[in-house]
Structures are given as C-alpha cells and as structure tokens.
Amino acid sequence: MKEPGGMTPRERIKNAMDFKEVDAMPWCESFYEETLLKFFSEGLPAHKITNVEWEMSLDGHLLANWPKFMGFDPHSYFGCINFMGCPVPVDIGPIPRFKQRKTREDAKYEEYIMETGARSRRFKKEIGKITWYTMPQFLEFPVKDKKSWEQYKKRLDPEDSRRYPKDWEKDGYLRLFDEYQKGPTTLSVTGFYGFGAELMGIPNFNLAFYKDPELIRDMISHWEYFTIESLREAVETLKDRIDLVFWWEDMAEKHGPNISPRLYKEFLLPHNKRVARFLNKNKVRRIMMDSDGNTQPILDLVIEAGITGHWPLEVNSGMDVRTLRKHYGNKLFLAGNLDKREIAKGGEAMQKEIDLKLPLMKETGGYIAGLDHLVHVEFTLEKFKEYADYLKKKSVIQ
Amino acid sequence: MDSIPDRIARALSNLENSNNLKKLINEALKKKIPVLEILEKGLRNGLSEIGRKYEAGEYFLSELLFGASMMEEAMKILAPRLEARKLERRGRIVLGTVRGDIHDIGKNIFRMFAEGTGFEVYDLGVDVNPEDFVRMVVEKKPDVLGLSALLTTTIPEMKIVIDELAKAGIRDKVRVLLGGNAVTNEFGEEIGADAVALDAVQGADFCKEWTTR
C-alpha cells in the first residue's frame, strides 16, 4: 500500500491534517455521479472503477458468494483520496425513517416525501437521458413549531439499536480501522446549523432564532445529547483510529454566514464545544467543517468551538487559502479551494490556479489539495485527467 | 426629541420585539400622523437601515429575514388604512428562477426584501420558460426583470431570456438583474445583463437606484 514517496494515502492525509511532514500533498475529491456518467461517455473505462463485491448476505450472515455491483471507485483510478473512504457505521438519521414515497407527478415533475420527512419536488427523469444533478425544491419541512418538533424528536433516540449495524462487533471494526490505508477513516457528524436547517428549511430556521428561541434551544440541546450518545459506543471503541470527523454544516452563502457571530455564540457555540470535547477526550482530534459559502466572519468562533479544518473553501464566495493561512496559521488545516471554474478550463488557466496556491501550501503544510466543491459536470474527462496529472506532479515535496 | 416615525425606523432597524414596533405604529396612528409618513419615514427607512447593516456585515440572514417579517407584520396594521391608489410603489419587478432550475431560497429572500422596500413583485416561481418571462414583461411592464439561477448548468438560460427579450423588441424596456450562486459580474457583462446582485439587499439597492426618478 506504500506509494513511491513512501507514505500510504492514510499516513499522508493524517500528517497533512496535523501539519506534519508529507512526501506529497494529499489530494481529495468528491464526484457527482452524473459527472462520472459523463466521463464514461467520454471514454472512462467502466470496468476500472466499478466496484463489484462477491458476497451475498442477510441480516449480517454470509449466505453465498455472489457478484454485487456496489458503485464506483473513481478515486483509485485518478489517484485521489475519498474523504469518506472508511466511514464509521453509525446511523444518525431519524429512525424510523420517513417512508420515501412519491405523492404526485405530472408530465414534468415528481413530488416526494423524503426520508427526512421533507416534501420536495424534482424534475422527472426522462428515460434514456441523464437527469443532471440538482437539489430538489423543498415544498415543506417536517419541523414547523414546538409540536411538530416534539413529534420529530421521537425519531432521534440515540439508544435505538438500529443505529449500529447488526454485525457491529468491536474487534472486527478495530481491525478494519487499523488496517485501512486508502484514505482517512471518517466519522460523519451533522453540525447544529445543518441539522436545524435541514429540519426547518433555511428561512424558517433562521427566523426562529428571533421568533421562537426556546424552540431553537430545545432542538440544539437535544441534538447535542443525541450526537454524543449515539456516537458514544463507536467513538469510545475506535478512539484515535478515527482520523477525521466530517462535520457537515453548510451554513453560509456568498455574502457570508447565514447566522451572525452573536447568534452562533449564544446558541451554537456551547453545544459545539461539548461535542468537540467529547471527541477530543477520546483522542479524536481532527474535526473538519464542510460548509460552502463565505464563512470568514464566523471562523474565529468555529475554531473556538473545536473545529480544526475546513473544506471546500469556495473561491466564488471569496475564500482563499492564502488569506486563511496567513490569518489562522496552523489553527486550521485547509482543504479544497482550487477554483473549479478555472480548473475545468484546463491548460494555462488550470495551471495558473494551481501555481497560485500550491507553493504556499507546500511550504506551510496543513493542506489537502482539491477543488472548491464536488467535481461537476462541466469537467470533461480529458480536462480532469490533465488536472490530475498536473496536480500530482506539483504536489510532490522534494 | 425624535419623531415617532424616527422611533419606528429605529425600533425596526434595531430589531426590537414586534410588540414595541406595533405599539409605536398605533401611537403614531392615534396622533394622526399620516399613514404614508409612517410607512416611508418609519418602516421603509428602518428596513433600509437593516439592509445597510447587512451589507456592512453587522447583520446576517437571520436579521434580514426577521426585519422583513417585522415589516410584514407592521404592514398588516397599515395596509387597511391605505387607499390602494395611495400605496405608491417604488416600481415593479417580475421575478423567477430560470428554466431547468428549481432553487428558490435566494429568490424568495429577495422577494421579501424587495416587497418590504416598496416594490410590487410578480414572482413566477421556479423553472420558468423564457417565453413566460417575455410574456410577463409585455403584460406587466416591470421596471426590473429578476432572473435567478443557482447552477452552472442553468445559468446559460439567462442569456436565452435576454436574447428572447431582444427578439421581442423589449430589451430596452426593462432592466435585467441576475442573482444566484454561480452568477458572476463577468458572466452578467458577457450576456448583456444590467447588473448582478451578490445578495438580496444589493439586488433591492439596484432596483431602487433604477427607479429613483
């Protein structure tokens, strides 16, 4: 598993997140599936990135060997790392899930109840055509007020045994997490803003900080309790075998954070700190916030809350690794920030963007290279390969 | 001492609780202060100040939304007292998310803020065909056509709408304002839009600037 430079991808990314020496800067990407489908039509060899697992199981018991199509692994093919390579298998969603079902359709759209309980509308898939990725239009959210929250809360019971796999067996997972080397072992956590906005919708959740602060306090307190208690078994078992906590927030847009520093401090910070303390106490130290948009006005508080890294750093929203590094030094490892619009152009534009940012990041460390969001459909396979080759060449530390 | 409309403006811009604002409005009405003065010097000035604070980074989305919602509550008291003809609007906006795109959060926030600022807004919703934008521009004769798109894959639709306006011979009759995460100033210039708004407040500011006579 060791690579030419001497480190495994896991060692490389862990060292980078810790501002330690690396043989080359790690490179992480996430792909929209539609982009991969487009790449196939442009010549990406499907057999090289298709995962087939030879097993067939029921309730955790292996019944027979049987080939099962398990999706794609483009990361190995292109030579990049998946943030979610080896995920901690805890289900932090509502249990029972809302039954996903189609409630309406017409010639163009389909309406659904999603598994989070939200009602949404999507474009109908046209047979034989790829429906390009788009978020659905949310028509209704499951939490509107105290009453609907109390109902929803019943599905957020951390003690529900269904949160862990039926075959959860400590020794097996300890071995797996020790041995995995293709990338980081990752625990996914939904942050406090992400949680509330997902249940109430961005406008209603934001308004509730003023109109119904007690509801917000109750939701956030419960989310802290739920997060710690549902993860406790996994975190206390795996401890520092968990390399990375992927903390999803999506709490900002181009103009700035959706929530003010004052509200963050008053409502979210104490809870955020307690979750981070629980993780740190168990030697889980690297917590990376996933938020699009311009998070800068709130970053001091986010760091105070215990976040140690940030991705994807959207250039379009004014994020720049050079400014962030200057301001935060090694308090924050950085990931992404290569402008997808420039990189997708290929040639000089792509090289210029990489050459602008990589030298300082190589010098100062604490950086995981990658685009400033998922690999989107505007990339051609040829341009993506060109980018991969150039980035890998430039990432080597002499 | 501050006038009551000034105090209304301050209560709104400081996001004091809605009851204080309602009390001040009722006090103004009792003292026979003209409703239009309460609206213009009080509420609209207050909302403008909220916009200024948002642009300056003192306020964020929650404050913007709460301000617009306080304004909406206040208008429930004033609207029945305003004769329709006296409720002068700053201007008219036709608004929608372009074809192929069903994102509407940013568009809806802009609508709330623009309405609070005094514009009459015709929101066509999401996934709007170019011909429907053109039809509404012909029919409503708006000052501004607001086009929203989140995705890099759907922003080319904005150019199609602008081209259709030109084909219909009405491009010079309406200002075209673009908004959405993927939209940049360079893109706006390239396709011949009048402006690109970074956020709801900047969008409303462009509309105000264009309709100030």
Scanning B130-149 for CB atoms below 8 A from A yields none
**Which pLDDT does position A136 carry in this prediction?**
82
Which value does ipTM take for this structure? 0.88
Domain map of chain A by residue range? 9-94+143-395, 99-141
Query: In the predicted model, is pLDDT for residue B54 greater than 60?
Result: yes
Q: Which pLDDT tens digit goes with each residue over B127-161?
A: 999 999 999 999 999 999 999 998 777 899 999 99
Domain boundary among B85, B107, B126: B85
What is the distance in angstroms between the Cα of A56 and the nearest Cα belonging to chain B? 39
The secondary structure of residue B121, as a DSSP letter, is: E
* B188/B144 same-domain check: yes
Which positions in chain B touch A297 (Cβ < 8 Å)? 57, 60
Nearest to B66 among A123, A210, A258 (CB): A210
Amino acid at B83: E
Substitution target from A109, A207, A255, A294 for chain B, most B beta carbons within 10 A: A255
Let me know whether B201 and B130 are in one domain.
yes
Count of A-B CB contacts under 8 Å: 79
Structure-model confidence comparison of residues A76 and B177, the more confident one: B177
Q: List the single residue in B60, B152, B181 with the smallest CB-CB distance to A259.
A: B60
> With respect to CATH, is domain A9-94+143-395 assigned 3.20.20.210?
yes
Inter-chain residue contact B62 with A206, CB threshold 8 Å: yes
| Percentage with pLDDT > 90 across chain B | 73
Interface contact flag, B61 A206, Cβ < 8 Å: yes
CB-CB neighbors (< 8 A) of A202 in chain B: 61, 105
**Global confidence as pTM:** 0.91
Shortest alpha-carbon distance between residue A378 and chain B (Å): 8
Under an 8 A CB cutoff, do B102 and A297 touch?
Answer: no
Same domain (yes/no): B159, B81: no
Instruction: Report the residue from A206, A210, A377 with minimal CB separation from B15.
Output: A210
* Pair (B174, B107) in one structural domain: yes
Q: What is the spatial distance between Cα A225 and Cα A156, in angstroms, rounded to a whole number? A: 10
Contact B152 A376 (CB under 8 A): yes
The shortest CB-CB distance from A258 to any of B60, B101, B153 is to B60
Statement to judge: residues B29 and B113 lie in one domain: no
> Over the Cα atoms of chain A, what is R_g?
21
Please indicate whether, in this complex, the C-beta atoms of A263 and B101 are within 8 angstroms of each other: no
Nearest chain B residue to A206, by CA: B62
Q: Which of B27, B58, B85 is the last residue of a domain?
A: B85
Percent of chain A with pLDDT over 70: 92
Is A260 close to B153, i.e. CB distance below 8 A?
no
d(CA A350, CA A340): 9
For residue B174, the model assigns a pLDDT of 97
The Cα–Cα gap between A337 and B112 comes to 33
Q: Do A207 and B66 touch (CB under 8 A)?
A: yes
Hey, is A79 helix, strand or coil? Answer: coil
Q: Which residues pair with A309 in a beta bridge?
A: A288, A333
Q: Do A297 and B57 touch (CB under 8 A)?
A: yes
Report CB contact under 8 Å: B61, A210.
no
Mean pLDDT of chain A: 92
d(CA A104, CA B12): 42
Rounded average pLDDT over A120-140? 75
What is the rounded distance in angstroms from the CA atom of residue A258 to the CA atom of residue A298?
10
**Residue B10 belongs to what domain range?**
4-85
Question: Which of B15, B20, B60 is the mutation pick for testing A, counting most A CBs within 10 A?
Answer: B60
User: What pLDDT sits at residue B152?
Assistant: 77
How near does any CA of chain A get to the CA of B34, in Å?
A: 30
CATH of the domain at B78: 1.10.1240.10
- B141 and B182 in one domain? yes
Distances (CA, A) of A63 to A54, A58, A165: 11, 7, 17
In a mutational test of the B interface, the residue from A125, A140, A206 whose CB has the highest number of chain B CBs within 10 Å is: A206
Question: Domain with B172 in it: what CATH number?
Answer: 3.40.50.280
* Contact partners, residue A268, CB within 8 Å, separation at least 6: A192, A193, A220, A259, A305
Q: Tell which of B32, B50, B85 closes a domain.
A: B85
Direct distance between the N- and C-terminal alpha carbons of chain A, in angstroms, rounded to an integer: 21
Residues B81 and B108 in one domain: no
> What 3-state DSSP class applies to A372?
coil
Does residue B192 share a domain with residue B95? yes
Nearest to A220 by CA among A142, A295, A275, A140: A275
Tens-digit pLDDT profile for residues B90-106:
899 999 999 988 888 88
Q: Are residues B111 and B189 in the same domain?
A: yes
Query: What would the two tokens of residue A188 be?
Result: 């996914």
Pair (B104, B207) in one structural domain: yes
pLDDT at B192: 96
Is B108 in the same domain as B135? yes
On whether both B78 and B125 belong to a single domain, the answer is no
Interchain contact, B198 vs A255, CB within 8 Å:
yes
The answer to which of A88-102, A120-134, A152-166, B126-140 has the lowest mean pLDDT is A120-134
Question: Percent of chain A at pLDDT above 90?
Answer: 79
